[in-house]
Structure 1
Amino acid sequence: MNPGMVIPVPVLLSLLAAFALTIVPLPGAIATARPEWVLLVLVYWGMAFPRRVGILVAFLAGLFLDVLQHQLLGQNALALAAAMFIVLQIYPRLRVYPLWQQAVVVAFLVGLTRFLNIWIQGAIGFPPGSNLYWLPILTSALLWPVVYHILRDARRRWLLHLT
């Protein structure tokens, strides 16, 4: 295997944490606003390591998310792969945006994944119950600066250990 294609340890650990945060039981009102943790982590690592964390990693993470959430196999995989494709197209510009502009892009990406998921769910006969379905767009955008700083610090610490 090409050493350039190995997924860094912080990426794997942060994805595991994102999966855990995705399935942690929450009260009903808060559960509808749950941020898209896996997407947030993938966006950050797609910007940081675009050659290592790409569409395939997003697709595989989406498949794992489908299994965790008992959803149609491939539903989240398609949505996350589409979002990662966009991230990989714009990551040089996205890196230099201020955090508030990155949060706007993240809101768009979450909206895209939510739209793709609602489209697939509607096609198989399971539309969402209310407009609260769209609330994770807001919560994900608001939490983006926190996720960004946590993952940036983890990446810097990991790189210091390598030298």
Structure 2
Amino acid sequence: MSAAAAQPGPLAVVLSVVAACLLTMAPVPAWATHWQPPWLALVLAYWCLAQPDHVGISVGFTLGLLQDVLTGTPLGQHALALSVLAAIVLWAHQRIRVLPLAQQALLLVPALALHQALLALVTGSSGRPLAMTMLLPALSGALVWPWLFLTLRDLRRGSRF
């Protein structure tokens, strides 16, 4: 594999972010709202693992602002949470990326739980009640991680844009 094929073009990252935004905004049944995976957080985690030199904390902050605008949440709520998530994944990326997908998913649960806890703290500070159901996306995120990882890896490897 040549060096050019190993480096995805920016279009692969942009396409995955657009897909994550669409999945974030997609309507889900009322019973599944608490289980909706944090799509942008998962996509950010993947790109921090796959391209730690190009995707990092500033990209997490930017994606967080984008998610705040798309979802109508207080500006900076997701920016803070995604920045912290990116920092954690970047800190441990060399240890995480060599593990099997199931172990990667298990190691992402605490990072995703912290992501959700930060969102809950900001939400709680605005007068909304906190609930343990805010941690359910961390579990669903771990469940979809293997399929998301394989999909994005194939997109990255097949991308020559």
TM-score past 0.5 threshold: yes
Residue aligning to 2:129: 127
Taking the TM superposition and a 5 Å limit, the aligned residue runs for 1:99-114 are: 99-114=101-116
- Is the Cα contact below 8 Å between 1:40 and 1:106 reproduced in 2? no
Deviation for aligned residue 1:31: 1.8
Residue aligning to 2:11: 9
| Structure ranking higher on relative contact order (CA contacts 8 Å, 6+ apart) | 2
Residue aligning to 1:21: 23
Q: Distance in 2 between matches of 1:7 and 1:123?
A: 40
Residue aligning to 1:141: 142
Q: Distance in 1 between matches of 2:132 and 2:117?
A: 12
Deviation for aligned residue 1:8: 1.7
Q: Distance in 1 between matches of 2:70 and 2:108?
A: 23
Residue aligning to 1:80: 82
- Paired AA for residue 68 in structure 1: L
State TM-score, norm by structure 2: 0.91
- Is the Cα contact below 8 Å between 2:109 and 2:138 reproduced in 1? yes
Deviates more, 1:45-54 or 1:131-140: 131-140
- Is the Cα contact below 8 Å between 2:85 and 2:111 reproduced in 1? yes
Taking the TM superposition and a 5 Å limit, the aligned residue runs for 1:91-102 are: 91-102=93-104
Residue aligning to 1:3: none
Deviation for aligned residue 1:132: 2.4
Structure 2 unaligned spans of 5+: 1-7
- Is the Cα contact below 8 Å between 2:117 and 2:134 reproduced in 1? no
What is the total number of aligned residue pairs between the two structures? 154
- Is the Cα contact below 8 Å between 1:7 and 1:53 reproduced in 2? no
Q: Distance in 2 between matches of 1:150 and 1:7?
A: 16
Structure 1 unaligned spans of 5+: 1-5
- Is the Cα contact below 8 Å between 1:7 and 1:52 reproduced in 2? no
The root-mean-square deviation of aligned C-alpha atoms, in Å, is: 1.5
